[in-house]
Amino acid sequence: MTIAVLALQGAFAEHEKVLDRLGVSHIELRQAGDLKKSFDALILPGGESTVQSKLLKELDMFEPLKKRIENGMPVLATCAGLILLASEIEGQDNCHFGTIPMCVRRNAYGRQLGSFHTEETVGSLGKVPMTFIRAPYVSDVYKDTKILASVEDRIVGVQYNNQLAFAFHPELDEDTRIHEKFLEIVRNSCN
């Protein structure tokens, strides 16, 4: 099993460190040629969703990745990655990949000073540490999108088919259960 980590901008190195701790093979996606390498799943890190989307398009990586996600490739998305997967973004006419039926609010907790840390339940994983940095949240979900986590009545974690998306940064905490849950989805999709 090999996980591809989008490494154009944002907190990709932190995700790679978690994968290293879990003993999981990974590659970085930095240019279109990297898409020819073999990989089973994708991590979309936190950072700036608009910048990531722009670079993906400029580097001719956007459409091939979108097709793979639509065809069931497992994805773990954090913060900006959640915005990339949303089918709707409040206050915008367009979206990016649009592969999870949900609406998100960008920078919902304010600027950098609005960053915070808490612990809440994530699905069957129990209480998980959550670090929010200029975080979005999910304002609405549609179709079969499952809510996995909420903080103060705001949705901060969802699952849609093989896609997991979180408004916080699990890669910044020592707890690896979210990445482990993702790897379980990847293993099941490979069988």
- Choose, from 15, 26, 96, 169, the residue flagged as catalytic: 169
Residue type, 89: I
Q: Is the distance from CB of 77 to CB of 165 less than 8 angstroms?
A: yes
Distance between the two ends of the chain, CA-based, in angstroms? 11
Q: How far apart are CA 142 and CA 101, in angstroms?
A: 5
Give start and end residues of each alpha helix (H) in 26-164: 49-58, 62-70, 80-85
Residue type, 138: V
Active site residue 190: no
- Choose, from 79, 95, 96, 179, the residue flagged as catalytic: 79
- Choose, from 15, 26, 95, 171, the residue flagged as catalytic: 171
Q: Which residues are catalytic?
A: 79, 169, 171
